[in-house]
Structure 1
Amino acid sequence: MAVRRAFANSVLLLILALGLATSLFFNFRSLSEIRSLQGIIDEYALREKILEKKVQNLQDAAVPGPDWSERASISTGDPREEALEDLLSRKDLLPWEGVVGGTMRIPGKSDIWFLGPSWCMAYIEDGHIGGYMLLSYEIPGPGGIRWKLLDAAPLE
């Protein structure tokens, strides 16, 4: 009977030892994974700080544009969109005629930049020649935009 009890205790002790060893194995493995994940988190936190700094530098270097929210009160819709559409339709403002059968135009909305409170620069081309024009503009009331060509420079 004593031998049986000793054997049973030995088996129980062996099972407990295996359970403890298994638990320690998975615990150390989990700790290793946690450390690895913490390293990844730290790396992304550093990248986030670097990107935030780059965004701040870009914002500091950006040319201020008009306050569209202020102009929304005198506009029937989105004042920026209205200004873009209006300028794209204004062939009378283009400083040069097209050459070799080309039609001078502003290629698209992405070729128009608003500067400060009332200036605009646009790239123009006809497929053969191109350049930039600088304009001033005023939005006196709903549905009206006044443009004035200030300067133009062809690309060499």
Structure 2
Amino acid sequence: MWKLIAHEISNLYKITIGPEKCENKWKVVDRSYKKFVDNNRKTGRGRKKFEFEAELDIIYGKKENIMPRILLTSTQVLRKAQSSSETHSTPLESFEPAIKNLISVEETALEAETRNVALHQTQNPSRKRSKRNITPAYKKQNEILIDIKNDLKNHYTEKTG
């Protein structure tokens, strides 16, 4: 196929071009078009222009990997019409019952898993936490911190009272 295209271009424009160059150029144009479509679909992005947009829209117009039938946004669901390239939007609120049902199913599964884990831990305690060894140095440090806390508390109650 690329040999035929290269031969036609060579005859039409009186230049010498190889089939590999035709194939590589097509891949570059194809990749650029896909990036262009992705960029223009993202929110908050500046719209770009593409030189061969109309031609590639005709070529890729029906392919779902380029133009998906359903596009989800944070507020609505955009559906492409079957017969044309127009999009129809459906408010996301109309999907709330299904979403709430899905969320409640997930929450129920999470609650059941949490209960099972808690039950397993109470039946099979894996380890007991070790208690802190209270040393004289720890007692002294703790008493100092408690005194500082009480002094600050008294200071602020006198200041505000």
TM-score range, shorter chain: under 0.3
Return the structure number with greater strand share. 1
Normalising by structure 1, we get a TM-score of 0.26
Q: Which has the higher contact order (CA 8 A, sep 6+)?
A: 1
